[in-house]
Amino acid sequence: MPSIPRLICAALVVSLAASATGLAQTARPPEVRFTTDEAFSAASIPAYAGSHDEVYRHIDANIAEHLAQLQRWVRQQSVSAQNRGIAEMAELLAGDLRGMGFKEVALVPTKGHPGVFGFYDAGAPRTLAIYLMYDVQPEETGWKVPAFEGRLVDHALGRVLMARGATNQKGPERAFLNAVDSIIRTHGKLPVNLLVVAEGEEELGSPNYPEVIDKYEARLKAADGVFFPMNSQDGTGAVSLPLGVKGIAVFELEARGGAHGGPTEAEIHSSLKAIVDAPAWRLAQALATLTAPDGNTILVPGYYDAIRQPTEAEQRLVNGMAAAASPAREEGMRKALGVDRFVDGLSGRDLLSRLLFSTTININGMWSGYTGEGMKTILPHVARARLDSRLVPNQTPDGQLDLIRKHLAGRGFGDIAVRTISGYGPAQTAVETPIVTASISVFNKYGVTPTVAPRLTGSAPYYIFTERLGLPMVMGALGHGSGAHAPNEYMVIDPRPGSKVAGLAQAEKFYVDFLYAFAAMK
């Protein structure tokens, strides 16, 4: 859940039109002040010159077995929210690492689902930490194939693997491991040492991932960077390379009957509303104080205060993104999302700025009383809403939730419980780092110049790597999928002729090159 809508966002951030009209007028959220109009271009980075033909041939010769590995992964359910198949998936991942030649592999117990640690010692000067998540979202209604059968389906873009986890995140993760396995089988060892640190609670907001890191902190700090396998191409083949993620605070508001009024034990008949206070009304009233009537502008005092202005380097990245975008693609993205208009009618650089640099408070779900068929005239004794707030530098989950608690108490809603569910801060890697250069160079080798974004709008616990361990981190590769957190999630395996997206074999070759490029970085 506090997961990245990776492809959607990646596609979105490159697809927005350039606009020279400056910033939005509404400006109650802090106005982003651009101090430069220079644009960063990834084309300025030289293409990776290496070629690893023996490994590529191994991949091509074994692609059917490699696809079977992806299917094996998605068929193993691992729904963290419902603890469905989690233990089995952790064992499966650990077994795969052992089988590949990782000499040190361990399940890492936590208060929640276990982590998985693996170390591959290549005796190489450089060490790359690999972040993996082995859990998935619950399946939803609307699937045209069963969500956990790993079926191959014909799609406009080619033959795709359609399953929960196909792109978020088992597909690209197992493709990466296929690449690793291919190098080892071809050359006997990798060009870099690998430290795999996997978790099974990413979709729960990674509440216990710090415990996994705790155990290996010193070894991780000695690494040279962190990588996260991911399908970075949108449906047109374009790539966005994000250099960070937003943080997130997930919390629940609960209104219940009690000393302030309202039924404490159970629902009562709705006619008693005349003399009994209603938790559902209290929740609606409390929620409504958090934002303006537009549902966008946050009215919690101080909520925007911690936000820092984007650096000049970040501004150059956004200018580069805006230059790479077009109004037609912005329109296409609205259609893909089923959205008639964006907030405040924003477009172009204004829209990009809002998307990348602004904090949010969102209602994931709310419920109270009878929600079934027909009607039941009751006065419910409890009402709940689950919310998430996306955080940008330098907001922190605790700091933002404190502001919400203070605000509610100050507005007379001290009876509303505010429960922290999970949270972590944002993560940021600077564009001028060897691991980012290595990544861009490999994309450039394949003629897919990435649009480098200052961050994703989604959230992931990468602050652990970037802020706590002080490591630079990149994510992504050639490959395309869509439908994360939605029905009919897929990853392209065999692109249709003429399609500009990579298939499974091409994605694996990207990962091979990336490992060698990173190993060779000065």
In the complex, the smallest distance separating the C-beta of residue 254 from its own copies, rounded to whole angstroms, is 13
In the complex, the smallest distance separating the C-beta of residue 79 from its own copies, rounded to whole angstroms, is 8
End-to-end CA distance of the chain: 37
User: φ and ψ at 442, to 5 degrees?
Assistant: -75, -40
Q: Closest CB to its own copies among 403 and 421?
A: 421
Note whether 129 and 471 are within 8 A (CB). yes
Q: Closest CB to its own copies among 118 and 481?
A: 481
Cα 319 to Cα 26, 92, 362: the distances in Å are 21, 44, 27
In the complex, the smallest distance separating the C-beta of residue 441 from its own copies, rounded to whole angstroms, is 29
Which of these, 360, 110, 414, lies nearest to 250 by C-alpha position? Answer: 360
Residue 152 buriedness (CB in 10 A; 0-12 / 13-18 / 19+): middle
Q: Closest CB to its own copies among 186 and 289?
A: 289
In the complex, the smallest distance separating the C-beta of residue 498 from its own copies, rounded to whole angstroms, is 28
Residue 518, both tokens: 């990173």
Q: Which residues contact 218 (CB under 8 A, 6 or more apart)?
A: none
Which of these, 343, 417, 354, lies nearest to 387 by C-alpha position? Answer: 417
Q: Closest CB to its own copies among 27 and 288?
A: 288
**Calpha distance 174→66 (Å, rounded):** 8
**Calpha distance 382→417 (Å, rounded):** 11
In the complex, the smallest distance separating the C-beta of residue 100 from its own copies, rounded to whole angstroms, is 31
**Calpha distance 133→201 (Å, rounded):** 7
Note whether 384 and 284 are within 8 A (CB). no
Note whether 370 and 378 are within 8 A (CB). yes
Q: Closest CB to its own copies among 343 and 515?
A: 343
Q: Closest CB to its own copies among 97 and 387?
A: 387
Q: Closest CB to its own copies among 47 and 306?
A: 306
Residue 279, both tokens: 């938790």
In the complex, the smallest distance separating the C-beta of residue 249 from its own copies, rounded to whole angstroms, is 11
Concatenated DSSP letters for 163-215? Answer: STTTTTTHHHHHHHHHHHHHHHHHHSS-SSEEEEEEES-GGGT-TTHHHHHHH
- Residue-level length of the chain: 522
Amino acid letter for position 2: P
Q: Closest CB to its own copies among 68 and 339?
A: 339
Q: Closest CB to its own copies among 369 and 503?
A: 369
Q: Closest CB to its own copies among 321 and 379?
A: 379
Q: Closest CB to its own copies among 133 and 512?
A: 133
In the complex, the smallest distance separating the C-beta of residue 41 from its own copies, rounded to whole angstroms, is 25
Tell me which DSSP letter residue 273 carries.
Answer: G
Backbone Cα Rg of the chain: 24
Residue 135, both tokens: 């859990």
∠ CA 349-353-354, nearest 5°, is: 120
In the complex, the smallest distance separating the C-beta of residue 126 from its own copies, rounded to whole angstroms, is 33
In the complex, the smallest distance separating the C-beta of residue 5 from its own copies, rounded to whole angstroms, is 3
In the complex, the smallest distance separating the C-beta of residue 499 from its own copies, rounded to whole angstroms, is 24
In the complex, the smallest distance separating the C-beta of residue 4 from its own copies, rounded to whole angstroms, is 7
